Structure 1
Amino acid sequence: MWNIAVKNERTTEDIALGIRRRVFEHAMRNNGGYLSQACSSAEQLAWLYNEELNLGAPTLPMIPKPFEGVPHADNPDYHTGAGYNGPFEPEYDRLFIAPAHYALVAYATLIETGRMAAEGLEMFNKDGSSVEMIGAEHSPGMEVHNGTLGIGLSTAAGLAWARKRKGEKGRVWVYMSDGEVQEGQTWEAIQCCAHHRIDNVKAIMDVNRQQCDGAMDSVMEVGDIKTKMENFGAVVVEVDAHNVNDMREAAKTKHDGKPLIILANSNPFHAMPILEERFPRLHYVRFKSEEERARMNISIADSLGVDPIDYAH
């Protein structure tokens, strides 16, 4: 059973460290993983789940069910992964995780906050599993398939608009990555929120300046994100992504009639400095040799305060 006291027993910083340790162990055992996303986003996701979000107890099994097919009228077994964030009740918040490639970090967050069993991570990227490598709508913690195409904020805005009209108290949060500002729909969503005064939606964006093909500016320069977002109608606050108190204070910012977007400036090799060797190719770290794997194992373990991983078995 999920224990609500988990939110009060551990600090957000401790949970962030636990997230990084789980992702590190997974990457070592599987000869690769989304290490950089754990470096940049751990405090953000830990803060959301441990402090900021008002969520009910999970409604799905601690060990995730297998993939039960796509939604249609003749498939009563279909489920989304949103049940790990609690029930759809008017008083509870909702969370959309827009960058689906952060799924490994999101699963680690669910485990560290007592919402999913550690065994669930052993199902990662296995045939027939709902614990997808690139999170889908049936994956733990996910409600819709956002991918990395910039639709997360639009999805959140639509739900927030409906909740506001229905008088529901629960807020809508969206977790984003900065690569999404290269998508036009992100800007349309901000403009829509401002026009319709959808101010029960908040977003936090991991600004790590990295994407699949390398450093963002080498793919498409995005310029001054804060000023652009403000011009489109958002209230924007910039914070240090690794300073939890910064995020706490930013979330209190008044934003009447406008969406609030927190730009969390992060380091893609925070707590794992050896990853800087791979800059700017950090999206998915697959080890180039056994020598590199062993060297990174020792270095990252030392940085995280754990023993090197025994991945020989």
Structure 2
Amino acid sequence: MSLTNEKSTEDIAHGIRKRVFLHTMRNNGGYLSQACSAAESLAFLYNEALHLGAPTLPPVPKPFAGVPSAHNPDAFTGAGYHGPFAPDYDRFFVSPAHYALVIYSALIEVGRMDENALDHFNKDGGSVEMIGAEHSPGMEVTTGSLAQGLSMASGVAFARKRAGDKGKVWVYMSDGEFQEGQTWECLSAMRHHEIDNIRVIVDVNRQQCDGAMSSVQELYDLPERIAAFGATCRSIDGHDLDAMRKAADSAEPGKPLVILANTSPFQGMDFLKKRFPRLHYVRFKSEAERKEMRDALAKELGVDMHEIEEA
């Protein structure tokens, strides 16, 4: 739910891609393909699906205050950018922590964080981490190496259901997390306990740090496998907002809802095809290479001249 509601979900998705692009050019690297694949689903979540209160943390993130403990009253989690915890509000867990820059960009686009927040990105002593941790904006927990976010979110969802909370628990995942056994154990447990107040959106872009998913470990018929573990599974075009709206409203009693958002790691940035299959993190080997990508993507994204020069 946007704080301003002045932008369409389509405009927010475009803004996410544009912001990640400019940051990547200015910092000689970034998670561009994740912005390509995730922009629509994150724009949908923040602008339409999530029922959240106003942020409880400042527009420009505070420095890291240390890990939570009984002796550290200044510690905080990035969930403050999703507003206060309350029975009627939703909770949102981001499982693939390397999507952090895309999450920060989404928070900025919907008015939950100031654009100057990215000035603190990956800086010593800051909370705006390159790989999100529990204190990073939009992050409620540290999700480990990969595939631990769903288990933590399901525990919260189970507790909320038992408490009678009306708010849902939403989870954002990457398809690579289905190569991990913990994900399948969690799906089975959620079906057994009839945890049906959880909604999962999976970015199925078929890419991971070592290249194409199929070259590392094929997932085969993922919708059928998820359904076999007892979840309601909807497989959609992840760039089709109407399809996403319909899927998000199709939960069944007693089952978790998993939406497989099939996406392209080039969406909105066709020039990235030149980098395939090494798309996980884009770095530049020379200034000439950076300039070629900058000029090509700026044209695709409609970035104006003064923004190009700043990058």
Give the TM-score category using the shorter length: over 0.9
Give me the whole-angstrom Cα distance separating, in 2, the residues matched to 1:3 and 1:277.
35
Q: Secondary structure at the match of 1:173?
A: strand
Q: C-alpha separation between the residues in 2 aligned to 1:141 and 1:153? A: 16
- Is 2:54 the counterpart of 1:49? no
Are the counterparts in 2 of residues 174 and 203 from structure 1 also a CA contact under 8 Å? Answer: yes
Alignment counterpart, residue 130 of structure 2, candidates 133, 149, 153 = 133
Q: CA deviation at 1:213?
A: 0.8
Match of 2:195 in 1: 198
Name 2:31's counterpart in structure 1: 34
Task: Summarize the Cα distance change of 1:3–1:235 in structure 2 as closer, same or farther, 3 Å threshold.
Answer: closer
The answer (yes or no) to whether the contact 2:268–2:300 under 8 Å persists in 1 is: yes
Give the alignment of 1:159-238 within 5 angstroms: 159-238=156-235
Give 1:77's match in structure 2, choosing from 45, 70, 74: 74
User: Which residue of 2 is the match for residue 293 of structure 1?
Assistant: 290
Q: Deviations over 1:256-296 (max 9, x none)?
A: 10100000000001110010111110000001211111011
2:10 to 10, 13, 22: 13
Q: Over residues 151-193 of structure 1, what are the superposed CA-to-partner deviations in whole Å (9 max), with x where a residue is unaligned?
A: 1111111000000000000000000000000100100111011
* 8 A Cα contact 1:171 1:201, kept in partner: yes
Identity, in percent, stands at 64
RMSD of aligned alpha carbons: 1.2
Cα 1:23–1:301 shift into 2, 3 Å: same
What's the offset of the Cα at 1:311?
Answer: 4.7
Q: Deviations over 1:110-149 (max 9, x none)?
A: 0000000001011000000000000000000000001442
Aligned to 2:101: 104
Structure 1: which 5+ residue stretches go unaligned?
Answer: none
**Contact 1:99 1:147 survives alignment (8 Å):** no
Residues 22-63 of structure 1: CA deviation (Å, up to 9, x unaligned): 000000000110100000000010000000000000000010
Partner of residue 245, structure 2: 248
Instruction: Normalising by structure 2, report the TM-score.
Output: 0.97
Q: CA deviation at 1:254?
A: 3.2
AA in 1 matched with 2:205: N
Distance 1:124 1:9 in 2: 26
Q: CA deviation at 1:245?
A: 0.8
User: How many Å separate the matches in 1 of 2:144 and 2:272?
Assistant: 25
1:310 partner letter: E
Question: How far apart, CA to CA, are the structure 2 residues paired with 1:246 and 1:303?
Answer: 25
How many residue pairs get matched? 309
TM-score, length of structure 1 as denominator length: 0.97
One-letter identity of the residue aligned with 1:224? D
| Maintained 8 Å contact 1:239/1:262 | yes
- 2:256 equivalent to 1:259: yes
Equivalent position amino acid for 2:184 in 1: W
- Tell me if 1:124 matches 2:118: no
